[in-house]
Amino acid sequence: MKKVLALILAFCMIFALTACGSKTPASTESAAPSGGTEITLWTYPIGNWGDEKTVKALTDAFTAETGIKVTVEYLTYKDGDDKVNTAITAKKTPDLVMEGPERLVSNWGANGHMVDISDLFDDTDKKEINAAALAACFNADGKAYEYPLVMTAHCMAVNYNAFVEAGADQYINKETHTWTTEQFLKAVDALYAKYGDTVGAVFCNGQGGDQGTRALVNNLYGGTFTNAEHTAYTWDDAKNIKALKTLYDQNGIAYDASIVGGDEIANFYNGIFKMAFCWNIAQQLNPNSAGNGAGKTANGDEIVFMAFPSEDGTAKLQGGIWGFGIFDNGDAAKIEASKKFIKYMCDSAKTVDAVRASNFFAARSAAEGTDLSKVWADNEVMNEYTKLMPMLGDYYQVTTNWATARTAWWNMLQKVGASDGSEAAITAAVNEFCGQANGK
């Protein structure tokens, strides 16, 4: 009897151990009619696509119409990539993932983990989808690893009250949300004269929000980050070096290796900085995710979103594109079900709901006869923000070696910030890290 008990105990312990090791992610499932295919979706927090209640309503509607059950897991930007990469290594990837082309196309797609979904794009789709977004979803071989749902333009923001106090409001065009490099530098001078401290930071602790620093540097004197073919990194050109030196020499602007974009936003929201280089419509609607009302800092100052300054006042903004891709798990039925999900969310009468859930703009003008250009007609802030959309520049995040290039960029900024600020030192830092990005 004693041995039987011992045996049972041992097996219990083994099973307990097995239970500890089993993977049960925090997830939600849509109610499904029995017998339907089941698919899994991992989504990054793209607006309310990170909100369980919102997403469940969308997936439940999909399930009710198709009978396909959807299990959703919510990723964060902090550890989402690690989770996906671990899943790839363990061959436990989800069927669907929602994020942007820099991950889906140039990373997981380029590395052979995604299904080519080019068959989902017919001629009508190609006409309706924004050209930049469409191009970003395809790789050089003509294979598509993402179907775009929404897009936005990343921009910067200024504390308008502080600008008025410093007399710097004369340098911004509040109607068009544009300014020139000269006006930007004069505005910083005025702010520095008034506040005597750092008013804006070239943050470079890590990659968080780095699209802001790239756009700032590239726009100041018309530099580029990559070539048009997306085959090489070009941020070692003289225009970018001039921009980096201008920022280094500018009183009131600091290269800060202790903060990332999120910290910069927090400092801006709390009135420490008078401008933020990491901004977009999501921040404008809910600054610092503080739930304190749209377009207001912590103490109620007005936040005005602005295009990045350029010599002629016409900025090329960094785009954000988000959509769905399918991991290649070798199950034809699940791939087919995933394609149905994509078409349902991105190209159907229900696309309006999927777009609104993201708080961004539709990546296409219409979907199956539904006009998507007026999705946000009832929202004043969103409507105003559409003024920036024509300024969308090249979506270069699909360039080869993107992960290395991204890291090289903020490491380069750190080195520039720690240098003596001479042109030679800045050029050396730029050449070193741009060389790394180009695989030299």
The site for another protein (CB under 8 A) is made up of 3, 6-7, 9-10, 13-14, 16-17, 21, 81-82, 85, 88-89, 107-108, 110-113, 198, 204-206, 254, 256-259, 267, 272, 403-404, 407, 410-411, 414-415, 417-418
Strand positions, DSSP E, 1-95 = 27-29, 38-43, 69-74
Terminal-residue alpha carbon distance, the chain: 71
Closer to another protein at the Cβ: 9 or 238?
A: 9
In angstroms, give the least distance from the CB of 327 to another protein: 11
Quote the DSSP letter at residue 309. Answer: P
In angstroms, give the least distance from the CB of 79 to another protein: 10
Closer to another protein at the Cβ: 143 or 340?
A: 143
In angstroms, give the least distance from the CB of 66 to another protein: 30
Q: How many CB atoms lie within 10 A of CB 345?
A: 27
In angstroms, give the least distance from the CB of 240 to another protein: 19
Q: Between the CA of residue 273 and those of 160, 192, 209, 413, what are the distances in Å?
A: 12, 11, 16, 19
In angstroms, give the least distance from the CB of 320 to another protein: 20
Residues 28 and 96: their CA atoms lie apart, in Å, by: 14
Structure tokens at 11: 């097996």
Quote the DSSP letter at residue 153. Answer: E
Q: Which residues contact 365 (CB under 8 A, 6 or more apart)?
A: 128, 130, 371, 372, 373
Residues 179 and 98: their CA atoms lie apart, in Å, by: 34
In angstroms, give the least distance from the CB of 111 to another protein: 5
Closer to another protein at the Cβ: 181 or 205?
A: 205
In angstroms, give the least distance from the CB of 418 to another protein: 5
Closer to another protein at the Cβ: 317 or 437?
A: 437
Closer to another protein at the Cβ: 49 or 255?
A: 255
Closer to another protein at the Cβ: 22 or 258?
A: 258
In 3D space, the residue among 375, 327, 329, 344 whose CA is nearest the CA of residue 120 turns out to be 344
Closer to another protein at the Cβ: 6 or 164?
A: 6
Q: Is 42 exposed, middle or buried (0-12, 13-18, 19+ CB in 10 A)?
A: buried
Residues 216 and 316: their CA atoms lie apart, in Å, by: 10
133 sits in which H/E element? helix 131-137
Residues 410 and 202: their CA atoms lie apart, in Å, by: 10
Closer to another protein at the Cβ: 42 or 361?
A: 42
In angstroms, give the least distance from the CB of 236 to another protein: 18
Closer to another protein at the Cβ: 273 or 324?
A: 273
In angstroms, give the least distance from the CB of 291 to another protein: 21
Q: How many CB atoms lie within 10 A of CB 48?
A: 17
Residues 220 and 237: their CA atoms lie apart, in Å, by: 13
Structure tokens at 35: 């017998």
Residues 426 and 412: their CA atoms lie apart, in Å, by: 9
Closer to another protein at the Cβ: 109 or 320?
A: 109
In angstroms, give the least distance from the CB of 346 to another protein: 26
> How big is the chain by its Cα radius of gyration, in Å?
24
